[in-house]
Structure 1
């Protein structure tokens, strides 16, 4: 990386004093005559013009000095800006060099990784190609096996249509060795051995069903008779309950009458005594009332 350049800040000495040119104007004084008066007027006009020109010249010189000062200040600012820009340029160049170096490092690293990835990719492609070839070969073998199995299944389907054999045919086939039996005969034997117990069981179940059907019909008739007798008993029970309720009410009335008769019999003296007392009190009160009225 190139070394940084030193910043240079030039300085300018600006003099604030202005060198103004002075001119001495001498005017001659003489005795005023007519010619002198006219010449003096002309001279006065000329001196006024000269004075005006001097003033304008001084103003121009002053403006020039001001412009020089402003120019020197702007030059100083420009120099400072140049120095700043140079420092920034140096810094940017340094960053650029760092970026270029980092770019080279990353480029080398990327190239190495790319080579490794390409090599790995080639290996993976070769491996996948081998696997694909093995899969295709296996698929062809399976398709051939499937075709053979389909043919065998068709043959078995055609040969397994009539499997129901009689007992005599079963005994005949059973006496033969298994290696001399065809597939249809072998399956027919196994089918007969599997179906014969089921047929026997089916016959037994059919007989049992008939017996149970008769039993069910008999029980239904008995149930019908029992229901009729149950209805009759329920009707009789209802009548007996009504009769019982009526007798209960009559018994309650009878008990109440008996209790009233016993109360009158037991309390008759007390009631008679109270009645006599009330009659005596009534007579006495009647006498008092008659006495009060008199």
Structure 2
């Protein structure tokens, strides 16, 4: 284009030079003619025609000068327009070059974006594959846990065995038995002797209660007999005191008479014998009271031990009820946990469906935005091409204003393209943010499922620990039962020994009471004799008193 413009400028310069030469020739020719005519004619008179001719020639010269000036002006305008055209062509070439650069950049960016999108899609596919594998693993573990929970629940429900089932299962070796059968056999072996021991202890408790009631009746009878003996003993003591007073009175009376001197030794020996007997009776009474206190203490201890045994039996019954309640609660908890697992499984399925729907929506929206973006780019490129062609035609045919308008349109189109590109980038960023949010939600759900699985495992461990604790409690109760049985046997032996001692003491006390009664009868006979002697002495004294009075008077 620059070469063409230079050639045209050269042609214009050549034509302008030729025209100037023609004008100069035309102007010089009449001057030569005039000079020659003047030289030829000499001093010819100037006529009117010559003046007009000169005027015409002068006017022609003026017109030629004006034409030359106008041609010069035209040449200058042509040069200016040619320079302007060259500048506009250079600007157009620059714009085309920039357009090519922008198109190349757009192509490069599109290729980079396509590569990034393909890489991102591959990464997303890999992540989705890993997520699906993890989900499958979680589903498998969930199914295993559900199967284990169902097995545990069934084993807890069908845990008890009958004697026939126990004999059938016991006939098989332990290697051929399944885990629930082996556990049920072991549970039957541990629980059945405990049940038998509990029944035996209940029977023994009933027997001991009957023996206690019988012992209580015997103790009541013994206390009644003891109180009667005490009353009799108090009466005997009162009578002995009376006799002692009477003896003292008789001694005083005997001292006054001669009988005191004669029977002093006998009365003294009898008094000493009576005092010794009273001392022995007091000693025996103290011994009986001490034995009675010991028996009452032992009876209170036996009652306390029986109360403790009753408390242990009640505690064992309460432990049995508590274990039954715990078993029921564990079964209820297992049912609740199964319902909870089913709910979690339904929630997982719903989340899977929601994830698939969101992924499909994301893919469709991405394809939709991609197609819209490509269509817009294609339309805009076609519009830009049309506009550029129109602008080139207008630049070739029009002036500076049209060129400026076209430049403005190009700038606006470029700004629109950049704005649309930014909008597409923002839409892609929004889609990526939504995808990241969905991934975060999925990870949160995954973490929540893992935490719930860990909670279930922890609860299973707690249940196993509680079952072990229950087994330890059963062992402790069995030990306590054995200790209680040994203590009951010891106390039974003590009761037998005490009953034998009590019967021996009762026989000895009866013998002693009979002896005391015989001695009391003897003492009463002696007292009767002493009373008769006192009466006789009184009669003798009364008979001898008047003689003594008369003698004293004389």
Same fold (TM over 0.5): no
TM-score by structure 2 length? Answer: 0.23
Higher helix fraction: Structure 1 or Structure 2?
Answer: 2
TM-score by structure 1 length? Answer: 0.40
